[in-house]
Structure 1
Amino acid sequence: MSARRTRRLGQAGEDLAVEVLRRRGYRILERNYRCPLGEIDCVALHGRTLVFLEVKTRAGQAYGAPHEAVDRRKRRKLTRLAQYFAKERRLEGAPMRFDVVAVRWDGPSPTVEVFENAFEAVEDGW
């Protein structure tokens, strides 16, 4: 798959994920939040909890389940990004969690699975 097609698939997956999240009561605060440490796909409020979301989209099963791509290295990076976001917005004391949204586009219509509280903050990054 070309890089351009991969980017389009990822963007379509993020758009679909946000639509599903909104229907589930998430209030989207930021999409593609960027800072010197990198990027968070989506930041939202779910109730009173600040949620940092990683969206993974796959067109097939060749690379495994989408959520499996959020390995320890990625979790550590997301933890640091969340810390930066919270400090920047003066939200350090707010309850926080990390969710992963897995989007599969390998059939006639996409499937979206939300893994709430998918992982704990990585200790050496929080």
Structure 2
Amino acid sequence: MDRNQIGKDAEQRAELWLLKQGLQAIERNAHCRLGEIDLIMQDGEQLVFVEVRTRSHRDHGGAAESVDWRKQQKLIRAARYLLSRNPHWSLSPCRFDVIAYEGDSESTPPIWYKDAFRP
């Protein structure tokens, strides 16, 4: 299986898992000129921008560690742009979560980093 398909599968699993946790799906793979947000979800009053990461090995760090400062800045810029294009979202408090999958097994539950970083 290629890397793109692995990523898409992880995003689908993450979305289903978050739905079971009580979040509501708003948008998947939200593209804009500044980047992409894997999932946009609603958690009560909060708008949640979710980055999904998967790593089969920890050789170069784990899945969550791959969301470094540069990636965080890119996600923040993309989220701000999307908020400016969707004014009805801008009234909601926002947070950034990371869903991390470690290892090869598709049955492994994700690690959920709620409010993983702040702009």
The TM-score with structure 1 as length reference comes to: 0.87
> Cα–Cα, structure 1 residues 33 and 15, in superposed 2: closer, same or farther, change >3 Å?
same
Match of 1:24 among 21, 28, 33: 21
* Code of the aligned partner of 2:56: A
1:110 Cα deviation (Å)?
Answer: 2.4
> Cα–Cα, structure 1 residues 108 and 81, in superposed 2: closer, same or farther, change >3 Å?
closer
* Code of the aligned partner of 1:82: A
**What secondary structure, in the 3-state scheme, does the structure 1 residue paired with 2:104 have?**
coil
> Cα–Cα, structure 1 residues 84 and 63, in superposed 2: closer, same or farther, change >3 Å?
same
Structure 2 distance, partners of 1:81, 1:108, is: 29
Structure 2 distance, partners of 1:106, 1:7, is: 15
2:49 maps to 52
| Percentage of identical aligned residues | 36
1:86-97 equivalence runs, <5 A:
86-90=83-87, 91-97=89-95
**Could you list the runs of 5+ residues in structure 1 that have no partner in the other structure?**
122-126
Structure 2 distance, partners of 1:84, 1:20, is: 27
Aligned length: 118
CA RMSD of aligned residues (A): 1.5
**Could you list the runs of 5+ residues in structure 2 that have no partner in the other structure?**
none
Match of 1:103 among 93, 101, 104: 101
1:1-126 equivalence runs, <5 A:
5-90=2-87, 91-107=89-105, 109-121=107-119
**What secondary structure, in the 3-state scheme, does the structure 2 residue paired with 1:29 have?**
strand
Structure 1 distance, partners of 2:105, 2:30, is: 30
Structure 2 distance, partners of 1:109, 1:25, is: 20
